[in-house]
Amino acid sequence: MAAGKPTLHHLNDSQSQSILWLLEELGIDYDLVPYRRKKGRAPPELKEVHPRGKSPVLVTRSGRVLTERSAIALYLIRTYDAQGRFQVAHPVLPSPSASSSSPIDDGADDADDLVREEELVSLGAASMNPAIMFAFILGMLVKHAPFFLWPLDNGFAELERALLRPGTDAGAEGHQRYAREYLMGGPAPTRADFVVEWFVEWAAAGRLVEMEKYPAVERWCERCRQRPAYRRALDKGNGYDLVNGTSR
């Protein structure tokens, strides 16, 4: 691989597609090493890159190996987004004073800061992902036990609220205009969008949620798909089928 470039070890039909999308958004030089599933499983060659044998794996320009998608996104944005296009608008929280025991006012509940971004990232990983995984493991059984999916519906409801903040207006014909294009309220996606959008796509592809119940989420997801960098990532990837692929 070329020196000074990050390298993405990318598996088809996997969440690695999110990192490929981010790399295209950043517009940087990178190397792409594609892998294809064998009987629905990641190939053993991935274990030569990292013992877990999963994707995405990013090898940084200095040779450090990163594995978790949210951590990879954090690294890429902090390292290569010099103009701050994909960072939250208010990234820094006040630091407590060592000489003061009084509490620090660290913003309102709806502050668009790093803590809020981390909340949304964790919502995807800790709440939505286990519900989706459980549903796919159970297969058809989930249709007879929808209570298994309540964390997923709760997650979609939280995303809907995030996209509707700080509110909506009624258009001339009474249609809603959503106040936000992306989860953190800025003109471009942030780490929250890059990480969470994959969970939404996976749930929607598997028909695990009624997307019509969450119109703001549906519009947001389509907005992400229509970004030129997203479409370039699809062209450069080696397959992206979240229903027939294992999607891990």
Q: Which of 247, 135, 246, 235 is nearest to 201 (CA)?
A: 247
* Average pLDDT estimate for 100-108: 49
Is the Cβ–Cβ distance between 57 and 6 less than 8 Å? no
pLDDT band at 195 (very low <50, low <70, confident <90, very high): very high
Cα 42 from Cα 125, distance rounded (Å): 20
Predicted structure pTM score:
0.84
Q: What is the average pLDDT score of the chain?
A: 83
231 or 103, greater pLDDT: 231
Is the Cβ–Cβ distance between 56 and 69 less than 8 Å? yes
35 or 135, greater pLDDT: 35
pLDDT band at 100 (very low <50, low <70, confident <90, very high): very low
In the three-class reduction of DSSP (H, G, I as helix; E, B as strand; rest coil), residue 15 is classed as: coil
The pLDDT value recorded for residue 224 is 97
pLDDT band at 123 (very low <50, low <70, confident <90, very high): very high
pLDDT higher than threshold 70 for residue 168: no
* Average pLDDT estimate for 38-45: 85
Q: Which domains does the chain have, with CATH numbers?
A: 114-227 (1.20.1050.10)
Cα 216 from Cα 163, distance rounded (Å): 6
Is the Cβ–Cβ distance between 129 and 135 less than 8 Å? no
In the chain, count H helices and then E strands.
Answer: 8, 6
The pLDDT value recorded for residue 248 is 43
